[in-house]
């Protein structure tokens, strides 16, 4: 079975929905997207494999963000 790739608009909408839901439910929201996109709102080529999954450089960006979110959740 082949799944259709999500459109940029759907990705942006989903991220916004997750952010709003998290705020409403007083959950910690971890926003990797903003830290990892280029001026076209796509994952930066130098931090991605195939334009979709983060590579080692992408993981290096994600790690401190995850640590900060975990610390916030534990407060």
* pLDDT tens digit sequence for 20-74: 999 999 999 999 999 999 999 889 999 998 877 899 999 999 999 999 999 999 9
Which sequence spans correspond to the domains of the chain?
Answer: 45-75
Provide the greatest CA pair distance for the chain. 43
Is residue 72 within 8 A of residue 42, CB to CB? The reply is: no
Q: List Cβ neighbours of 64 (8 Å cut-off, separation of 6 or more).
A: none
Q: Output the pTM of the full model.
A: 0.79
Q: In the block, which residue shows the tokens 């459109």?
A: 7
How sure is the predictor about 3, in pLDDT bands with cuts at 50, 70 and 90?
low
Q: Which residue has the tokens 């999954």?
A: 53
């Amino acid at each position: 079975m082949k799944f259709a790739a999500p459109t940029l608009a759907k990705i942006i909408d989903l991220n916004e929905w997750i952010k709003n839901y998290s705020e409403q439910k007083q959950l910690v929201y971890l926003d990797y997207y903003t830290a990892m996109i280029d001026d076209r709102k796509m994952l930066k080529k130098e931090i991605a494999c195939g334009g979709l999954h983060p590579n080692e450089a992408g993981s290096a960006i994600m790690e401190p963000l995850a640590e900060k979110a975990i610390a916030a959740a534990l407060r």
